[in-house]
Amino acid sequence: MANYVYKIVAHASLGKMRAAVDTVHERCGKNRNRIFFDMLHCAKKYGAGYYDYQIFAFYNLTEEQRATYVTRLISKKFNTFMNNYDYAHFLENKDEFNKLYKDYIGRDFIQFQEASKEEVREFCAKHDTLFCKMQDLECGHGCERIRVKYYENFDQLYAYLKEKDFCILEENIEQHPDVKKLYPNAVNSMRFITVLDSKGEPHLLYIVQKMGLGGSIIDNNCLFTPVDPETGEMMYPAHSGDTLKGIIYEEHPDTHVKIQGYKIPFVKEAVKMVLEAAKITPQIRYVGWDVATTPNGPAIIEGNTYCAHDFWQLPPHTPDGIGMLPKIKQYIPEFFEGKIM
């Protein structure tokens, strides 16, 4: 662990670390030197980087509370412990994912790089809007929503698709009206975190509802808040997608929908769906599923084999100051048999 602390100090951007200390000082008023040395203490004892210290408000937590958090180092260890990345391509490769999980994606698609020009023509004739994805990118990177009618003819559209080198063309997802009301310009997906226990049984750890913001056509890094898996209600005000900013939204700034208590439809059905999907690739035991809510029910958008550790443990959404380790221990006790720190 001393080596880890050394690496943090050696490779840290001193400017960013100084900025983190200043931000914490502004938020809590504690002495900067005390904050700095407490950061090093948390790095050594809990595997928390200075970003962890800042976003989880470790400066306000007891030692007992700090010990419940999935920090940067623990997150890395847990991902490695749970997932055999020789099998990650089944989720990360868009072609393979759509084939393997076709019963759960709830929309028409075509594998652009394998299809003939005539097959693509037929697909485009059926759908007035396309959602186009790149091969191995996640979190919406490289995606485009394309309106077919904006092109003079099919040849012009086809040339653009070839130029961009998209791998998958999908029917554009139509959102449930209640979800579209939150923010109409993007598919506002839910992120479900699932784990498979040592017997291969799936369990749900967490759900957040994501929302687009400010004209974005994707919902990543915008707004999010936890969702109750039983009632479908959003449980707290939303947090900014940039978790370092720590901005809280009582209502959506674009649509003015009040966040806390707003109910998302088909949540129980979505839970059932992701728990079934989690068993398809048992070598990947820890997955973050992005799920859309359509008028007819839930539809999986993608599965992520590396789950960020920050958004499910933030202060506005953890009023008791308890992180996710106790819940993980319920389902994956074997991870804790050795020393995780």
pLDDT tens digit string along 203-258? 999 999 999 999 887 888 899 999 999 999 999 999 999 998 889 999 999 999 99
Residue 316 tokens, joined: 């506005």
Residue 28 tokens, joined: 């809590």
Q: 3.30.2010, 1.10.1740, 1.10.3470, 3.30.470: which CATH number matches 84-94+176-305?
A: 3.30.470
Fold (topology level) of 108-171: Dna Ligase; domain 1 (3.30.1490)
Backbone φ, ψ for residue 294 (5° rounding): -100, 170
Look at residue 13 in the predicted model and tell me its pLDDT. 67
Look at residue 58 in the predicted model and tell me its pLDDT. 98
Cα–Cα distance for residue pair 61/63, rounded to 1 Å: 7
Look at residue 12 in the predicted model and tell me its pLDDT. 59
Look at residue 63 in the predicted model and tell me its pLDDT. 98
Cα–Cα distance for residue pair 78/74, rounded to 1 Å: 6
Question: 13-17, 96-100, 206-210: lowest mean pLDDT where?
Answer: 13-17
How sure is the predictor about 16, in pLDDT bands with cuts at 50, 70 and 90?
confident
Residue 99 has pLDDT above 90, yes or no: no
pTM score, two decimals?
0.87
Look at residue 94 in the predicted model and tell me its pLDDT. 80
Helix 154-164 and helix 117-126, axial crossing angle in degrees, nearest 10: 110
Residue 271 has pLDDT above 90, yes or no: yes
Look at residue 62 in the predicted model and tell me its pLDDT. 98
Residue 55 has pLDDT above 80, yes or no: yes
Helix, strand, coil percentages for the chain (3-state, nearest 5): 40, 20, 40
Distant-in-sequence, close-in-space partners of 4: CB < 8 Å, separation ≥ 6: 43, 44, 47, 73
> 127 in helix, strand or coil?
coil
| Residues pairing with 146 in the sheet | 130
Q: Domain residues of the chain, as ranges? A: 2-63, 84-94+176-305, 108-171
Residue 187 has pLDDT above 70, yes or no: yes
Cα–Cα distance for residue pair 70/193, rounded to 1 Å: 14
Look at residue 140 in the predicted model and tell me its pLDDT. 56
Q: What is the DSSP letter of 62?
A: -
What is the C-alpha end-to-end distance of the chain, expressed in Å? 7
User: Using DSSP, how many helices (H) and how many strands (E) does the chain show?
Assistant: 14, 11
> 219 in helix, strand or coil?
coil
Region of residue 171 (left: phi > 0; alpha: psi -120 to 50; beta: else): beta
